Amino acid sequence: MDFAGFFANSANVYILLAAVFGVFMAWGIGANDVANAMATSVGSKAITIKQAVIIAAIFEFSGAYLAGGEVTNTIRKGIVDQQIFGDQPEVLIWGMLAALLAAGTWLLIASRKGWPVSTTHSIVGAVIGFAAVGVSMDAVHWDKVGGIVLSWVITPVMAGAIAFAVFMSIQKLILDTEDPFQNALKYGPFYLFLVGFIIAMVTIKKGLKHVGLELSDMHGFLWAVGVGVLLTILGTMLIRRIKFESSDDKRFAFTNVEKIFAVLMVFTAAAMAFAHGSNDVANAVGPMAAIISIAQSGDIAAKSGVPAWVLLIGAVGIVVGLATFGYKVIATVGRKITELTPSRGFSAEIGAATTVVLATYTGAPISTTQTLVGAVLGVGLARGIAAIDIRVVGNIFMSWVITLPAGAILSIMFFYIIKTLAS
């Protein structure tokens, strides 16, 4: 291969850099965001960290690769007015490269600290930074930014309220009864149906257009019911095999009950991983696809699908990120906010998944991270404010607030560096 000729072609250089920076960003998503999806399952000891990595490797990869091509233009078109870049497409390329590098860098810093931050807000802050300072304040759709800031409050509160309600229903129907184990066997299938139905709704609404399935709302609803029923049958077969061991309850009164919820949580972990992979891989793939499209065509308005190899890069990066660095954020969300058992972790994941569905159907901006942290807080509050580590929660909220400006500042720095090197 003629390397001199390759690097003489700026389009090739931009595509190569997009791939490298995209992998870095995807790695950050795996280290931070995927860890969130697995944190409740690991923190409640339903699964081990190794099992979490295996489940994530299969289902995050499947979600990202099979259903992750939808909404890749959101980052490119939703926040930045691309008409401003009409005469200078290379500026948009430099900006998107800077945004990927900035968001990936911030996720690296946050993951090292164990802070669960929003990958969506990281890349959004980065895009805002280069567009507002590097180009023009008019290049940013500021109304979109307002919606993101509003989501900092709405998303965690909604998820927390739903998780609180789910856990209270578990307490009333199962834990506070004379025979918790039999009631767990009795009501467990209903909760399983809820898991299958909700996650199917997320996936159908957000991801399946990419693989050519355009379903109406009614067809989507019926498919989700079918998935819920299938999951209920499979899960019921597994939980019926759990035997009551009276000696186990001497250490903790609900040990046998929690065994049933541990089985349910394997399903929620897999389902959340698939839904997350299909939704959030766009944070890395969106800017990559924009750079590749512009570099190849030289036209900002050009429409092109997401190349399969781009989705593959995003999916691989996500899995490697979780496997190498995810344990730090898993420890924060799964163990440090409040003590989780499988029933509490299950309630948190149901709350988070339901919020994702509602937000998807209303078009509200949402962060998977803030949804899950809010849900964990809701479960903690069900046991009283003393059950929550307020200092840890304070650090998490602080990291949320500084994510947008941190992404923006890093992006501005990288934008000028790339611009100087490319000019």
pLDDT 10s digits, 277-286: 766 777 777 7
Q: Rounded to two decimals, what is the model's pTM?
A: 0.80
pLDDT tens, 193-232?
Answer: 988 888 787 667 655 555 556 677 788 889 889 989 998 9
Q: Is residue 1 included in any domain, yes or no?
A: no
Spatial separation of the C-alpha atoms in residues 128 and 367, rounded to whole Å = 17
Q: What is the total count of domains within the chain? A: 1
Q: pLDDT band at 104, cuts 50/70/90?
A: very high
Both ends of the chain: CA-CA distance in Å? 26
Q: pLDDT band at 6, cuts 50/70/90?
A: very low
> Of 354, 359, 405, whose CA–CA distance to 375 is shortest?
354
Contacts of 247 (CB under 8 A, 6+ apart): none
For 166-180, b/e burial (b = at least 16 CB within 10 A) is bbbebbebbbeeeeb
Please state, for a pLDDT cut of 90, what percent of the chain lies above it: 14
Stretch 382-394: mean pLDDT, rounded? 79
For the chain, the maximum distance between any two Cα atoms, rounded to a whole number of angstroms, is 77
Q: Is residue 2 included in any domain, yes or no?
A: no
Residue 382, Cβ neighbours under 10 Å: how many? 20
Q: Is residue 3 included in any domain, yes or no?
A: no
Q: Is residue 275 included in any domain, yes or no?
A: yes
Instruction: Give me the pLDDT at residue 358, please.
Output: 76
Q: Is residue 374 included in any domain, yes or no?
A: yes
Q: Is residue 390 included in any domain, yes or no?
A: yes
Q: Is residue 173 included in any domain, yes or no?
A: yes
Q: pLDDT band at 77, cuts 50/70/90?
A: low
Best-predicted range by mean pLDDT (242-256, 362-376, 377-391): 377-391
| Average of per-residue pLDDT values in the chain | 80
2-11, 90-99, 110-119: range with lowest mean pLDDT: 2-11
In which domain, by residue range, is 62 found? 8-422
Q: Is residue 319 included in any domain, yes or no?
A: yes
pLDDT tens, 294-328?
Answer: 887 766 655 556 677 887 888 888 888 888 888 78
